[in-house]
Structure 1
Amino acid sequence: MMLKIILGLIVVLVIVYICCGFRIVPQNNEGLIETLGKYSKTVKAGFIFVWPLFQRIRKVPLALQPLEISKYSIITKDNAEITTSLTLNYLVTDSYRYFYNNTDSVESMVQLIRGHLRDIIGRMDLNSALGSTKEINDQLFTATGDLTDIYGIKVVRVNVDELLPSPEIQRAMDKQLTADREKTAAIAKAEGEARTIEMTTKAKNDALVATAKANAEAVKTQADADAYRVQKMEEALSHAGEGYFRNQSLDSFNQLAQGPNNLVVVDKDDMTNLGKIPAVKKVWDESGK
């Protein structure tokens, strides 16, 4: 009876022992089997069996994982201090290397990326670094792509999220930016005033030229009119007879006789010419009308 009980206990213990050896490796994971502390084999996702107490399984995730690298300081080529932070995505490509070749493969990868980022930015001056985020990302991805393979890791994407100058440099940059804006505004104002003066001067010159042209045209028109009147007067006098001038002479003497100064001494041959004076005036007045 006692023997049966002992055998029954042994069977139960064996069943419990075997049941404790069944394991499940989730999807997107690999299992590393260790026998008595030594790597034995790699198993894929699924239902597996290990010998309890003699074997153990270590699960390694293979899915893409994000990682944020906190802010840290970097010195640029011109000795300016900037603070940077970046994010990346990586996945495990070799679970054996990932787990056994390094005590902390992720931390080693982070240190490697930080070192390359310091080297890249350290060869740039401040202005170049602040304006070349895309170029920095490309260089960093190229530099770390193959080196992380020794850790069984592949970096899929790396991105520098921010590059911030130190507060002292930021204040100096703000002052410089303000000075540049004020300088630009002053130049624009001066150019505007110069343009206004130029346009005003041009307008005044154009007005003076227009006035001078108008005056010249008026003088020319007046001269043409006077020349025309003289021509008409000469034509009218050339057709006037001697009798007309004699009558004009008598009228002239009559007018002189009626005035306070009525003494005129002329040669008898010039008396007829005296009559031409009012005749000329009359013709001139009529041509002016």
Structure 2
Amino acid sequence: MEFKMILDLKIIIFIVLLVILTSGCTTIVPQNYEGLIETLGKYTKTVKAGLTFKIPFFQRVKKVSMALQPLEISRYSIITKDNAEISTSLTLNYQVTNSFKYFYNNTDSETSMVQLVRGHLRDIIGRMDLNDALGSTSAINNELSKAIGDLTDIYGISVIRINVDELLPSKQIQAAMDKQLTADREKTATIAKAEGEAENIRLTTKANNDALIATAKAKAEAIKTEADAEAYRINKLQETLSKASEGYFRNQSIVAFTKLSAGNNNMIVMDKENIDKIGDIPAIKKIWDQDKN
């Protein structure tokens, strides 16, 4: 009988617990969540993940995720310092660091965070020219991260990572940039062609000049060689004449007069001082012919 009473008591306790669990007296806060307990609509306390008891009809639990969450900010337009329109889109990762601030300090903390990011990005790019903005994505990311900093702390949010995915100029600006790029490439090609032609002319001119100089040097060398040979013959002639005896020149004089007397034109006029020099002429001619040979 006593055993039966104990068994009945356990059954009653189990039923009571089952009623409590199924009647809204408890709630389960998942992993990486925090629970905000409100009593009659007023915040009471924050509970961690696990089984949480509450007073039915008087209390309720708001569950806030504390895990890292990705967010994509859709494309929107920004005007640069030089009045060029570009569109941009971003992605970021944020994490709720204070569930109370996240839920109670703002009706929509996520939207407020997005507006804050957009505003600071407009300010950063608005101080840059188009070309600087398009080529400075990494620098923009760093500056935007610093600008956001702890500003989102008021919303109970921390931005862990932020990235500007793209910066695209408008179609009109893109078309103008394409034309400019084409013009620059054509200009570069024209300059390269002109420089090539100028180099070719320079090399051709240098080759021609080198050929002219080589020809002139060869001619000068030939003239010098010929002059040296002529000087050598003259020196040899003078040397030979200086060694000839008086008898040799007298003999040549007789031969010369003999030839003159044998010809039709056998008149020659000479002064008496040089009459004996007539023999030098055939002697010189003989030596000259020998040297030539």
TM bucket (normalised to shorter chain) is 0.7 to 0.9
Of the three residues 136, 157, 160, the one matched with 1:156 is 160
Of the three residues 67, 70, 95, the one matched with 2:99 is 95
**Distance in 1 of aligned mates of 2:289 and 2:224:** 20
154-163 vs 188-197, which moves further: 188-197
- C-alpha deviation, 1:168, in angstroms: 0.5
**Within the alignment, does 1:48 sit opposite 2:52 as a pair?**
yes
266-275 vs 74-83, which moves further: 266-275
1:17–1:52 CA contact under 8 A, matched in 2: no
Partner of 1:186: 190
The amino acid across from 2:266 in the alignment is L
Matched residue SS, 1:263: coil
- C-alpha deviation, 1:178, in angstroms: 0.8
Give the CA RMSD over aligned residues: 2.5
**Distance in 2 of aligned mates of 1:52 and 1:282:** 153
Partner of 2:20: 18
1:275-286 to structure 2, matched below 5 A, reads 275-286=279-290
**Within the alignment, does 1:263 sit opposite 2:259 as a pair?**
no
**Within the alignment, does 1:39 sit opposite 2:43 as a pair?**
yes
110-119 vs 13-22, which moves further: 13-22
The amino acid across from 1:202 in the alignment is K
- C-alpha deviation, 1:201, in angstroms: 2.0
**Distance in 2 of aligned mates of 1:96 and 1:256:** 148
Unmatched segments (≥5 aa) in structure 1: 1-9
Matched residue SS, 1:287: helix
**Distance in 1 of aligned mates of 2:197 and 2:120:** 53
Between the aligned residues of both structures, percent identity stands at 68
Unmatched segments (≥5 aa) in structure 2: 1-11
**Distance in 1 of aligned mates of 2:137 and 2:52:** 48
With over 3 angstroms needed to count, the CA separation of the structure-2 counterparts of 1:251 and 1:38, relative to structure 1, is same
With over 3 angstroms needed to count, the CA separation of the structure-2 counterparts of 1:70 and 1:271, relative to structure 1, is same
Partner of 2:234: 230
1:165-244 to structure 2, matched below 5 A, reads 165-244=169-248
**Distance in 1 of aligned mates of 2:30 and 2:65:** 9
Partner of 1:4: none
**Distance in 2 of aligned mates of 1:257 and 1:161:** 122
**Within the alignment, does 1:83 sit opposite 2:87 as a pair?**
yes
**Distance in 1 of aligned mates of 2:246 and 2:63:** 146
1:18–1:51 CA contact under 8 A, matched in 2: no
Matched residue SS, 1:27: coil
With over 3 angstroms needed to count, the CA separation of the structure-2 counterparts of 1:15 and 1:45, relative to structure 1, is closer
- List per-residue Cα deviations over 1:98-135 (Å, max 9, x = no partner): 11111211111001111111111112221121122122
Matched residue SS, 1:139: helix
The amino acid across from 2:244 in the alignment is A
**Distance in 1 of aligned mates of 2:134 and 2:168:** 8
110-119 vs 124-133, which moves further: 124-133
- C-alpha deviation, 1:285, in angstroms: 2.8
The amino acid across from 1:134 in the alignment is S
- C-alpha deviation, 1:271, in angstroms: 6.3
198-207 vs 127-136, which moves further: 198-207
- C-alpha deviation, 1:153, in angstroms: 0.1
- C-alpha deviation, 1:253, in angstroms: 5.8
Partner of 2:6: none
- C-alpha deviation, 1:267, in angstroms: 5.4
**Within the alignment, does 1:105 sit opposite 2:109 as a pair?**
yes
